[in-house]
Amino acid sequence: MTNLDFRSDTVTQPTDRMREAMASAVVGDDVYGDDPTMNELREYAAELTGMEDALYVCSGTMGNLVSVMAHCARGEGVLMGVGSHTWKNEAGNVAFIAGVMPYPLDDASGLPTLESIKASYQPVGNVHNANTTLLVAENTHNSAGGLPAAAGPFGDVASLAHEMGMKVHVDGARIFDAVAFFGNDIKDYTRQVDSIQICLSKGLGAPMGSIVCGKREFIGRALRHRKAVGGGQRQSGIAAAAGLVALREMRGRLVEDHQNAALLAALVADIGFEVEFVPRRTNMVYFKTGPKFSDAASLADRCRGRGLLIGPAGTDRVRMVTHVGVDENSVRSAVEILKDINE
Ligand SMILES: Cc1ncc(COP(=O)(O)O)c(C=O)c1O
């Protein structure tokens, strides 16, 4: 990996500690429930989140899908933000695999608005509609600039959904960025919801995998759905070993990513790009390509030619993400390249 890869926090290499843990992991057949390292990861994740049980899945997408499948029957509805990853970037899987109808929420400000929850809600018992039995909230919110939601407003959303009779699932791909930002505890979020999906392979730096946490009975159903979608793996303790290092050792350094992103945002703005304002910045910086570049792909191509990788995020919008594989020097070098290209 070039050390100037800012496309995503998914591009990280496993740390030496992860590689050592993977090489020495004691493993068994996890579909039989026999993998001790996997079982340790599940127990650790459940304890960390204060939830009854946890399940390893291959990816964040699989974690969100099996959660929707475990919460909703076919023909029911799920409320999701139109800017959310589950709505935009998971191949429409809740519709075409789970048989669940997605209904849109306004989540431009990161959290779904209470008004849009009330407007999109489809009551149970109405034979005309796909009854909405689940709400999904993303925290941090990727397309809103990596925006973290504080436990208070997040709780207002969860409480409203519960009062209306819905369950609440969190796409917490980057929940530990929210925790690092506010200096709070993940339980401040998990105690307010029914399930959460947490990516091990983003800011936490593991090479693969996600964890789904929730009540024991819910996890039992999710386990069956994981099998149905082909996510039952055998000696997956190899992956769990890296996941344990990620959860135990990598949460504490996420604030460095946030500091680097704040510096990046300031420097990119200084050289004339229009950086999107976010009131609380974690590890992402979105900005407009500007007058010199007609579209995001052409700017990204020019950067690639200079050894800098950035992510197109729409026609005239690009994203740069900080992570364990880039430091302050990488940020400064990246901005130098952007400056040259834009002159
Ligand atoms: C907010 C969010 N949720 C879920 C996912 C899906 O994770 P995966 O790529 O592991 O399927 C991503 C991936 O970038 C994401 O940004």
Among 211, 232, 250, identify where a domain stops: 250
Q: pTM for this one?
A: 0.97
Q: DSSP letter for 192, please.
A: T
Examine the domain organization and report whether 80 and 202 are in the same domain: yes
On whether residue 7 sits in a domain, the answer given is: no
Q: Is the CB of 142 under 6 A from ligand 1?
A: yes
On whether residue 154 sits in a domain, the answer given is: yes
Over residues 188-213, mean pLDDT: 98
Q: Is the CB of 53 under 6 A from ligand 1?
A: no
Res 288: pLDDT: 97
User: Which residue owns the Cα nearest ligand 1 atom 13?
Assistant: 60
**Number of CB atoms found within 10 A of residue 208's CB:** 17
How many structural domains compose the chain?
2
On whether residue 10 sits in a domain, the answer given is: no
Examine the domain organization and report whether 246 and 266 are in the same domain: no
Residue 98: which domain range? Answer: 16-250
Mutation test residue for ligand 1: of 139, 142, 177, 196, the one with most atoms within 8 Å of CB: 142
d(CA 134, CA 336): 46
Condensed to tens digits (0 to 9), the pLDDT of residues 105-146 reads 999 999 999 999 999 999 988 899 999 999 999 999 999 999
d(CA 171, CA 176): 12
Over residues 327-332, mean pLDDT: 98
Q: Is the CB of 171 under 6 A from ligand 1?
A: yes
Query: Can you give the CATH number for the domain in which 326 is found?
Result: 3.90.1150.10
Condensed to tens digits (0 to 9), the pLDDT of residues 41-50 reads 999 999 999 9
Query: Can you give the CATH number for the domain in which 91 is found?
Result: 3.40.640.10
Residue 18 token pair: 């992860």
Mutation test residue for ligand 1: of 84, 85, 90, 226, the one with most atoms within 8 Å of CB: 85
d(CA 323, CA 202): 8
d(CA 90, CA 153): 26
Condensed to tens digits (0 to 9), the pLDDT of residues 208-231 reads 999 999 999 999 999 999 999 999
Q: Is the CB of 120 under 6 A from ligand 1?
A: no
